[in-house]
Chain A
């Protein structure tokens, strides 16, 4: 069996890697133990570099982080939050958002990170299905979510509001809840947290537009953190860039892996990620050693970050995940960062991560980069449609069995039944069906071959094409819509759409396309703006008189997708190309 060979090979490879420091390993049984353990080891050394709202640097030691989150967690408990209750965290990346997530975990509650810029239908669905009892919100998020929040929701004081410097954070955190908690008292009011307790929920768009929540436990989150620390050899000399928003599963590296390793977290505000030159400047100034993000972000950094003009000598490891990185584009960045290690981490959010591939040198622009081999003792299968193991080199669906895999989907037993299959032995974790089609080679290395469904990754964000199509189809004047990915000149994937007008808006042609006609594209864009996440917004919309049909009379989505994927002109006309 190739899979047992793969596991053995992987274990052999891992045995040479750094182990988790024993002082941490033994003490940390849940994510709630991370900051107390880091404080015992790291004490007053810096644990987090953040920025306050005025852009001033904040440095918090491990002791600070432990004390503040203990007080915040204690205040959550005093305010009535119980183990297993959901707490919404809808904040832009900041010192405060890091503190909030850890406070929730230490209070035994379940963190529900929500994109502060989430379209209202998504926010509403997440809030109503999780029924949070408390929330940490930015001031502008509070405004955006007004009307969607339960009336009796406990609004926690934003621990980062209007503060300057770390003294402000500490003082403010003391005030969260009813009364200040002194150092000794805080710990007594915190609950015992167990490995199998639920810890956090990560939501993605579902195929019908209903978000799917993945419930991770302290065990699955910590298993991920342990594997990242040992596989990537992260230690207390590292400084990890927090480049992913909280609602994105990749934020787990900065939230959990960094404290486990005693590596300092450098919080990268969302604004810096839209401004690569600002990010690179901060990375150089603070001596960041590990970048972890999606290829889309790294391509922006490569082309606009002025990387070669900053001193990035501290940077030693670039880890990417979320989508394939075209080897030529990766090479362009590596040429500007000559001594850097590069790893591809692969895994649907349900699994955290399940395979890793570390590049052995400069990638050849014409040679595909593999997903990698299963890390740690993760077991994988590649199965055909009859659920039989595929031969080597034969494409099939990837199944994963690992301690890092989620417990299940939030309140969706139907999805659990479809995706999580009981293992042969009741003591073992279930198999998770990824829906990703892969092939395995003789070394146990996996290669991505597509999706078994209509999911795509745009800028690392997982999107179900049907969900985007259903929003477009509801737009005024639209009868049918088909959405598909395209890449212009080898650039990052983007979504494009084709629509057919409904009969009441049947007059097509120039008037429609120019925006003044019955089916105004700007109207469709205005419809989509508040309903779709930015990555899901179609970058171009083609109006078609009708769609081709399949033999069974359904819209032939595959052919329409092929047409719109090809519909690229070097100089797109303003009228049909829609700005983001």
Chain B
């Protein structure tokens, strides 16, 4: 044994942020990045309209689930009103607590504006769906286009605030060198885009109607975001190698001898490379684009895993005691139940909206009464459904 020091009594410091935090950061990143993907279509770009339909569904549902996961990560969730009773302008988390509700309500309002248009056609129905449509559309007036454009731009501005605050909140923590880097901000944003692109690809497969423009757009977005993420990671590592005494150097030092961290980085690099190559392959081989949903799943995995590594794995790196915290995810609500529950709520929300809202008809799409799950490989040009 060549080690000079043995720590006889190494206390087990438990993790303080549970997997709920991963769910929040994952969902909120999907929300803002999906909104960015919806933006061109909302502003009028014809070849992005089908993308915008899927992206709005993703943005709206994740924006609702995200704050629920965030609330669950508080040890005193019922005291959430303290955030608003004691506003603290010097705390990133407090600033975030002010930014979050306007963002969520803006996305809901935007989705309402965009979806009430096709819902107008349901107002004449005599069934339950007609009743809901009459209630939700608040009159049979046509949605003014300037309102959609204005709200879309305002929501996009709010989304930038969310992206900046979620990144900064974690990046300012000097106590954890692996977080304490400005590169975390672009990292969250680019991996968020990977996830949102993947989500649109997946939704376009399972919720249809399949749209070739969407597949092409998203394959480009995911591959570009993956390359950008690799760039961000590279810049971070280079800073650690070349800048004396940087927090990045301390971060790299803290995980230098860990086999688990080596495996994790290898997995991330491998999946990222496979994802990029998969996107490029499908862009090149048009007839195979029916497989894009697999790219979508891998992209979602990468975006989620990025947050798991940053938020959970980093917490297992001890701050001042020897070794690593041996954290195993429990089955209870602060473990897997929370993860599964969040995803379950999200899927339920998508299903409810799919049932009650003819969202496929938004932005000039063709509305239908029921989702068409039959893949239509021959679809060309504008979105079609049914």
Asked if chains A and B come from one complex, the reply is no
